[in-house]
Structure 1
Amino acid sequence: MKIFDRKLWLGSVLLLVTVHGFAQQQTYCNPMDISYRYNFEQLNERISYRSGADPVIINHKVGNKPGEYFLFVTISGGWWKSKDLVNWQYVVPDKWPMEDMCAPAALSVRDTLFLFQSTFEQRPIFYSTEPEKGKLKFYNRWLPRLPKDIGPWDPALFHDPDTDKWYMYWGSSNVYPIFGAELDHSRRLTYKNPEPSKAYQPMLWLDPWQHGWERFGPNHSDPIKPFTEGAWMTKHNGKYYLQYGAPGTEYNVYANGTYVGKDPLGPFEYAPYNPIAYKPGGYATGTGHGNTFQDNFGNYWNTGTTWLGIVWGMERRIVMHPAGFDKDDQLYANTRFGDFPHRLPTSKWQNSNELFTGWMLLNYKKPVTASSTLDTLRAELTADENPRTFWVPTKNQPGETLTTDLGAEHDVRAVQVTYVDYKNTIFDSDSTVYTQFRLYASKDGKKWNKIADLTDSSDRPEPRRDRACAYVELPAPVRARYVRYEHVYTAGPYVAINGFRVFGNGLGKAPATPPKLTVVRQKDQRNADITWQKVPGAVGYNILWGIGKDKLYQTYQIWNDQPNKLELRALNVGVPYYYAIEAFNENGVSTVSEVIGPR
């Protein structure tokens, strides 16, 4: 498997546009670097946390101009806009519905953006021809109330360009299915059938007895009845792909799946290659409840929700992965190295793996020291790739530092600093909520050079904004053994950092291909036991699998300090699979092993 395209990389370097001495950002890294909002939802419980979940990214095109991207997120008081999928500016609407929007539906049709909130009551559909300015108007005054507990909660709007018909899909329950309904455009997008009890029909149900990945709990280990939610519809080559999230937002296995039909209201058939977006291992685990959209170059993307859950169970962040349809119209999302830096495309890609930069994680469980430590919230917890462990200094004051020792000199390319809320007292985001820090590098731990400055005195001035998942791409490689974070400002009484992640390339060799990959399908076909032989110098491994030798779209990342075995519990009954493995370290990625299967 190709790690990265060197010609593409060199071309990107030559095309760098410098602004105030810094190169224009060419890459991104999950979780997405947006100004996550403090969530007033738990104000009564006095629990303060930033969160983002249930994303919808819309490519809104006006006339022949390139589209502008709009991101809508649960309970965020507004939305974000971007021209490049990496620099997101928060937009405050001029009016807002009766309450903030949870899991909003958004759709762009003929220069108009439509917006609708999750509800069990009568609520309006809004529209805007100037979403970049926060302008909202009523498209209708309300949709009729449906029977008790039906919804529409977690809705998705869909317009079929070939028939000019409109639809809505929804569902968020472990009791009810995903529902669908046709909307009547001639009556301002109210239900086609005016009788509320007949306005909708079931589209799909979860079947965890046949679909291993739909089982609840961490690694699908909990017998609780799973939840389905987050409907989305994509039309491709005359087929309708009705997507849904399962089995629950608070687990590493939160994923997106799809059913496929020839009509917007079905019947739909389960796709045997499900789930389409799945990332159970690594730092930013979980990809469920998002949407599928195309960028201005025609590339597909799949968004989703990754779980944090430190101070509150619904504390989450947003992820975005390259996606697409293969030659057989199979829908997939590429989560291989999904929380490592990826390039922003400048054209239509031929293979989504081209977007992976090849910049590896340089400091997994490497030594980290701090200027001070509060209780047992130690510095090394920022390098264990566990988003639920974190460091806290004794005081939230400028000058507090984290220093990671990479163990040897490496070419540093990017740094991600991710924050969490520890005993915080903020319940709304205002002008006092922003993030500032500096980064330094050193070869010997004595002489330090500043490599990034996110403060008011930065060489790259920018508006103050909160960056809970701050990602800093360096304009050029920096040869260093040590990297230091110097704190300047975050709001609240404490600083809490759960990820100090350094990316780049080592000066040594990539590991060898892991030998002796074995896969044994259990009597319960939803499960398979996978083993392999570890190789010297490896930091981790990617288990790759799929329904064909050329369709290894699924990835499970395992660290080398974990056992060399995996019980994979995400398989579909009656579906044969193929498997392979690769190893990686600070220097790169091995070649992929021989593909084995079907089994």
Structure 2
Amino acid sequence: MLAKLKFLHFIVILLCLKSIPNLAQQQTTYCNPMDIDYKYNFEQLNEKISYRSGADPVIINHKSEYFLFVTISGGYWHSKDMLNWKYITANRWPFEDMCAPAAASVNDTLFLFQSTFESRPILYSVAPEKGIWEFYNRWTPRLPKDIGPWDPALFHDPDTNRWFMYWGSSNVYPIFGAELDHSKKLAFKDQYKAMLWLNQYEHGWERFGPNHSDPFKPFTEGAWMTKHKGKYYLQYGAPGTEYNVYANGTYVADDPLGPFTYAPYNPVSYKPGGFATGAGHGNTFQDNYGNYWNTGTSWIGLNWAMERRIVQHPAGFDKDGQMFANTRFGDFPHKITTKKWSGKGDELFTGWMLLSYKKPVTASTTLDTMSAAKITDENPRTFWAAKQNKAGETLTIDLQKEQEVKAIQVNYTDYKSDIFDNDPAKVYTQFKILTSADGKKWNIAADLTTEPKRDRPCAYIELPKPVKARYVRYEHIHVASPVLAISEFRIFGNGFGKLPPTPKKLIAVRQKDQRNVDLSWEKVAGAVGYNVLWGIAPDKLYQTYQFWNDEPNTFELRALNVGVPYYFAIEAFDENGVSAISEVASIK
């Protein structure tokens, strides 16, 4: 009898375990910043500053699988679906690690090269998923120390079998380019030359500082080359990684070494508003369905100016060859691609809205003045901290009415961290998400203790099915840092009300300085925020600047190009969805 009871008990346990959803396998969406196990950064080791970071991304589609290379990470990531990324350490890796690496896939070989001012080798692999790399060359040529090749990009033209390198990271020097000689193990074939220079006097978006407000000379870096329908798009990042306006632009030519012409629709990828701001210094790649994506660097800058995260946005080329990246709702949940999309990729936006903005929060404990209210302000540089980093600490958000919760994102802060390694035995993240209709009876919506241990500084979880709830709770289990600190607990889903009305009276007035335009609009009662959409034609409103409803409804946009006409529209959004887009306003 006792044996029979034990057997039945064992069966019940198995059934319970089977009922716990495997969140990773069921996930079909992603949310910026990317949910990877960002590594503790060693740049400031001597200053005893510990923080997780990732920047300067390059994603390569190699033999229908994806490889992500990131600044100073001790390795790289591999994915088969662009959702689940596995960290890989290599058999051969530069002793000083890699900063802003270059990578290129050619036939069955993946090439890799680090930023350097000295002589360094190009590595290659025919099995990068196994971490096996060999020396392709010893990179004996040496450039003048001041000019690189820092922030390099490798480009192989499949139509001509020619190889090129582009590089540069400076507010003094341009982006350089040179042809490489494949017969001589990719040594420089000819003299390098300047490809493009920044011109902040005509290109408003290239001006330095927050919202392009600083007269300091801007930086260009992060070169990347994309060939599309016979045209060569040389991309670059500007004006500085530590600002919300960090963006990617492009010049276009008929030859890989130019001459290049500035694209009047620049910037290509630009996300100055919202939670994950900044989209510069990344790369452009195609997925297995032929869709384009643009990666970039999003700024945190709390522990150190160069503390950053990784973002990716749908991208492409329109019928006129104009390059674009779609950052509309760029840090809200998006579907991962399963087919060729149309237009500019708006169909990938799930329509799941932010339910947590400025909602009331209750914390189990609070350290000093780091209050729980900061986890719903959509600012990655403010945060809540618990008195102790112990299991059972909680954060509870009151959505103030019942909503349909579909996904959550938890963004951690490295406050007074003392971690200087990435030992997976201690560096991992675990928590539970609970929901309730009345604040009394709670149900588990997600449980990371049932998943394999890994670190998730920007943990994004799509719930297996929508949950109707008014209260959503984070219950802490483990984080490696000595202090439990969270910058944002973001809840996504939909309310049950009507869509907001379209904002009225959008007015755009161009200043005497043509790089600037003054925008204003009439606020919508009950709106959470607005997207100002703009571009160089009524049907090319590819740019987005997101604003919150509790911010002013006037704004000086300082990102225009001199001599280029512009068109503007606006939409409102709330917890129920998005309004229709307004009529288009134009300026000459």
TM-score normalised to the size of structure 2? 0.96
For 2:366, give the aligned amino acid. Answer: T
Name the structure 1 match of 2:394.
401
Name the structure 2 match of 1:550.
539
Q: Quick one: distance in 2 between partners of 1:508 and 1:553?
A: 29
Name the structure 2 match of 1:416.
409
Q: Quick one: distance in 2 between partners of 1:147 and 1:364?
A: 50
Name the structure 2 match of 1:79.
76
For 1:488, what is the secondary structure of its paired residue? strand
Matches within 5 A, 1:43-82: 43-61=45-63, 67-82=64-79
For 1:106, what is the secondary structure of its paired residue? strand
Q: Is the 2:508–2:587 contact (alpha carbons within 8 Å) kept by the matching residues of 1?
A: no
Match of 1:540 among 525, 529, 538: 529
Q: Quick one: distance in 1 between partners of 2:20 and 2:257?
A: 50
Displaced runs of 4 or more, over 3 A: 18-23
* Aligned residue-pair number: 567
For 1:233, what is the secondary structure of its paired residue? strand
Is structure 2 residue 143 aligned with structure 1 residue 140?
Answer: no
Match of 1:475 among 464, 480, 485: 464
For 1:514, what is the secondary structure of its paired residue? coil
Is structure 2 residue 421 aligned with structure 1 residue 428?
Answer: yes
Q: Is the 2:21–2:464 contact (alpha carbons within 8 Å) kept by the matching residues of 1?
A: no
Name the structure 1 match of 2:334.
342
Match of 1:360 among 341, 344, 353: 353
Name the structure 1 match of 2:16.
none
Go from structure 1 to structure 2 and tell me whether the alpha carbon gap of 1:415 and 1:20 turns closer, same or farther (over 3 Å shift): closer
For 1:136, what is the secondary structure of its paired residue? strand
Name the structure 1 match of 2:10.
none
Q: Is the 2:531–2:571 contact (alpha carbons within 8 Å) kept by the matching residues of 1?
A: yes
For 1:213, what is the secondary structure of its paired residue? helix
Q: Quick one: distance in 1 between partners of 2:228 and 2:99?
A: 28
Is structure 2 residue 151 aligned with structure 1 residue 154?
Answer: yes
Q: Is the 1:581–1:592 contact (alpha carbons within 8 Å) kept by the matching residues of 2?
A: yes
Q: Is the 2:41–2:51 contact (alpha carbons within 8 Å) kept by the matching residues of 1?
A: yes
1:117-150 C-alpha deviation (Å, 9 max, x unpaired): 0000000000000000110100001241111301
For 1:327, what is the secondary structure of its paired residue? coil
Name the structure 1 match of 2:162.
165
Name the structure 2 match of 1:247.
239
Q: Quick one: distance in 2 between partners of 1:90 and 1:436?
A: 18
Matches within 5 A, 1:180-199: 180-193=177-190, 199=191
Q: Is the 1:366–1:407 contact (alpha carbons within 8 Å) kept by the matching residues of 2?
A: yes
For 2:342, give the aligned amino acid. Answer: Q
Is structure 2 residue 358 aligned with structure 1 residue 369?
Answer: no
Q: Quick one: distance in 2 between partners of 1:115 and 1:420?
A: 31
For 1:208, what is the secondary structure of its paired residue? coil
Q: Quick one: distance in 1 between partners of 2:249 and 2:293?
A: 14
Go from structure 1 to structure 2 and tell me whether the alpha carbon gap of 1:257 and 1:448 turns closer, same or farther (over 3 Å shift): same
Matches within 5 A, 1:141-290: 141-193=138-190, 199-290=191-282
Match of 2:479 among 490, 500, 505: 490
1:182-230 C-alpha deviation (Å, 9 max, x unpaired): 000000011103xxxxx31000000000000000000000000000000
The offset of 1:21, in angstroms, is: 6.0
Q: Quick one: distance in 1 between partners of 2:20 and 2:81?
A: 16
For 1:54, give the aligned amino acid. Answer: D
For 1:437, what is the secondary structure of its paired residue? strand
The offset of 1:452, in angstroms, is: 0.1
For 1:237, give the aligned amino acid. Answer: K
Is structure 2 residue 96 aligned with structure 1 residue 103?
Answer: no
For 2:384, what is the secondary structure of its paired residue? coil
Is structure 2 residue 584 aligned with structure 1 residue 591?
Answer: no
For 1:132, what is the secondary structure of its paired residue? helix
**Percent identity over paired residues:** 73
Q: Quick one: distance in 1 between partners of 2:496 and 2:140?
A: 61
The offset of 1:393, in angstroms, is: 0.2
For 2:147, what is the secondary structure of its paired residue? coil
Is structure 2 residue 446 aligned with structure 1 residue 444?
Answer: no
The offset of 1:20, in angstroms, is: 4.8
Q: Quick one: distance in 1 between partners of 2:481 and 2:202?
A: 47
Q: Quick one: distance in 1 between partners of 2:173 and 2:20?
A: 52
For 2:208, what is the secondary structure of its paired residue? coil
Match of 2:372 among 349, 360, 379: 379
1:36-89 C-alpha deviation (Å, 9 max, x unpaired): 00011211000000000000000001xxxxx11000000000000001111000
Matches within 5 A, 1:513-532: 513-532=502-521
Q: Is the 1:72–1:80 contact (alpha carbons within 8 Å) kept by the matching residues of 2?
A: yes
Name the structure 2 match of 1:196.
none
1:475-497 C-alpha deviation (Å, 9 max, x unpaired): 11100000000000000211110
Name the structure 1 match of 2:551.
562
Q: Quick one: distance in 1 between partners of 2:42 and 2:268?
A: 33
The offset of 1:597, in angstroms, is: 1.3
For 1:225, what is the secondary structure of its paired residue? coil
Q: Quick one: distance in 2 between partners of 1:488 and 1:235?
A: 47
Q: Quick one: distance in 1 between partners of 2:34 and 2:21?
A: 24
1:427-457 C-alpha deviation (Å, 9 max, x unpaired): 12112100000000001011100000001xx
Aligned-pair RMSD on alpha carbons? Answer: 1.0
Q: Quick one: distance in 2 between partners of 1:510 and 1:220?
A: 34
Q: Quick one: distance in 1 between partners of 2:235 and 2:272?
A: 19
For 2:244, what is the secondary structure of its paired residue? coil
| Structure 1: 5+ residue stretches without partners | 1-17, 62-66, 194-198
| Structure 2: 5+ residue stretches without partners | 1-18
Q: Quick one: distance in 2 between partners of 1:597 and 1:493?
A: 53
For 2:571, what is the secondary structure of its paired residue? strand
Q: Is the 1:143–1:191 contact (alpha carbons within 8 Å) kept by the matching residues of 2?
A: no
Q: Quick one: distance in 2 between partners of 1:184 and 1:145?
A: 15
TM-score normalised to the size of structure 1? 0.94
For 2:154, what is the secondary structure of its paired residue? strand
Match of 2:41 among 39, 42, 53: 39
Q: Quick one: distance in 2 between partners of 1:244 and 1:118?
A: 15
For 2:164, give the aligned amino acid. Answer: Y
Q: Is the 2:510–2:587 contact (alpha carbons within 8 Å) kept by the matching residues of 1?
A: no
Q: Is the 1:280–1:557 contact (alpha carbons within 8 Å) kept by the matching residues of 2?
A: yes
Q: Quick one: distance in 1 between partners of 2:567 and 2:398?
A: 39
Q: Quick one: distance in 2 between partners of 1:588 and 1:149?
A: 51
